[in-house]
Chain A
Amino acid sequence: MGFDIDFALSTLPTILSAIGMTLLVAAVSCVGAAAIGFGFEITRRSGGVMGYAVRFLIDFIRATPVLVWLYCLYFILPFYGVRLSALAVGIIGLSVYFSGYLSEVFKAGIDAIPRGQAEAARALGLGRMDMTVFVIAPQMLRNIAAPMGNYFVSILKATPYLAVLAVPEMLGRAFDIASETYRYAEPLTVAGLIFLGLALIISQAIKRLESRLLRPMRR
């Protein structure tokens, strides 16, 4: 049979038409993962019982596969009467899974801020909330921009997992073509190459951004 390049090219427009869905899922999941991860890190820092609970939860998330998280949410939520679309379940799954990793990014970003900053904020009489929002967060953002970007690429590369929940992203489209034509190699290869291209382009952009952000630090 062989690999039919003409057929591969003919699948390109259909698969590419789902690139918007892929990028949307990646972007929303990244924001979700960052929000949960930041919440985790703040709770972990405040210590106490909740701090330990969150610490264990982060360890748990990091020791379990994203595919299993997706299955869990997809099959368990409806059992408790929570009916969400496959897309929503997928985004929640990716957000939860990557929050475990992003909390570590936030931890490193906050640890890199000199202690004097927090002490000065306290000396000025700022509350915990004000200190976090106005003193810690802005300085943290510069520290985490590059690792966040790398995790965005990781999340992007995890979006094809949503195909197992029948979300119409690029891998899902490739499988649609495959099951219609009984030719798997070509559409899957095309989807793989598009993801590889996207990942490489975004990684390069992040490297540029990183060197620009760090320039004012190197004095």
Chain B
Amino acid sequence: MSVLDIWLGILQGFRVTASVTLYGLLFAIPFGLVFGVAQYLITGPARLLVTGIIEFWRSSAVIILLFVFYYALPVIGLMFSAMTVSAMVLGLNIGGYASQAVRAGLQSLDRGQKEAGQALGLSRPTILLLIELPQALVTMSPTFINQIIQLVKATSLVSLVTLTDMTFRAKEISQIEYDPVPIYLSLLLAYFVVCYPIALLGRQVESRVGPAREISGGL
């Protein structure tokens, strides 16, 4: 089997890798925004609940979360496709990290921003939507880009719940053709080809808005 065949084989899994990533973002972005803002605005006992939900998604080991939801949801009568479960688990895990970036971005703003809005007679939601969030999201954009990379990398886990992504294809090829060296090195390179441009984009953005803050711990 030539290296070209290997690459074509791995490429067949790219659609699933990309789908899980995009589908996952559909969970990650709303979760990160809503919970980040909630943690910033809410005080008192309700905040504990918000923090609890964030910590559940953020502090759990994502590989176990995936297995738990894949095997446990059907037991309690909830049937979802492997794709939906994967996108939800990986998305909400990254969303948990993103929520911390949203909150940190909002907290880092100068108090004067909010006070100026109040002095102009703007309502609290208007201040949040038009003054605070735009600035916070721009400041934290390098961090969000890093988190997209983490999400792409995490999609390799879906190969463990029967989805035919790039990792699954590579394993499949190596079972037919015992030639692990080019197959797994190609797989490593395939992820690099997908993620490195995103990393370069992140650096470009970073040079304009300031450095990314490390909120996700590498996974």
A residues touching B (Cβ–Cβ < 8 Å)? 1-3, 59-60, 62-69, 71-72, 75-76, 79, 97-98, 100-101, 104, 147, 150-151, 153-154, 156-161, 163-164, 171, 178, 184-185, 188-189, 191-192, 195-196, 199-200, 203
Contacts and interface: CB of A to CB of B under 8 A. Distances in A.
Contact of A160 (B63, B181, B199): B63
A199 B195 contact: no
A108 B5 CA distance: 43
Contacts of B159: 67
B185 interface: yes
A191 B59 CA distance: 14
A63 B68 contact: no
Contacts of B219: 66, 154, 157-158
Given A3-B76, A67-B156, 6 more contacts: A1-B75, A69-B188, A147-B214, A185-B68, A185-B75, A189-B72
A199 B149 CA distance: 23
Contacts of B75: 1-3, 185
A32 to B, nearest CB: 14
Interface of B: 55-56, 59-65, 67-68, 71-72, 75-76, 149, 153-157, 159-160, 167, 170-171, 174, 180-181, 184-185, 187-188, 191-192, 195-196, 199, 214, 217-219
Contacts of B195: 63-64
Contact of B217 (A154, A159, A178): A154
A199 to B, nearest CB: 4
A195 B60 CA distance: 6
A68 B187 contact: yes
Contacts of B191: 63-65, 68
Interface of chain B, main secondary structure: helix
A52 B55 CA distance: 38
9 contacts: A1-B75, A63-B153, A64-B188, A66-B153, A178-B71, A184-B71, A195-B60, A195-B61, A196-B61
Contacts of B154: 65
B184 A76 contact: yes
B67 A164 contact: no
Contacts of A62: 149, 199
Contacts of B76: 2-3
Given A60-B192, A200-B55, A72 B217 contact: no
Contacts of A63: 149, 153, 191-192, 195-196, 199
B216 to A, nearest CB: 8
A153 B75 CA distance: 30
Nearest to B195: A63
A157 B184 contact: no
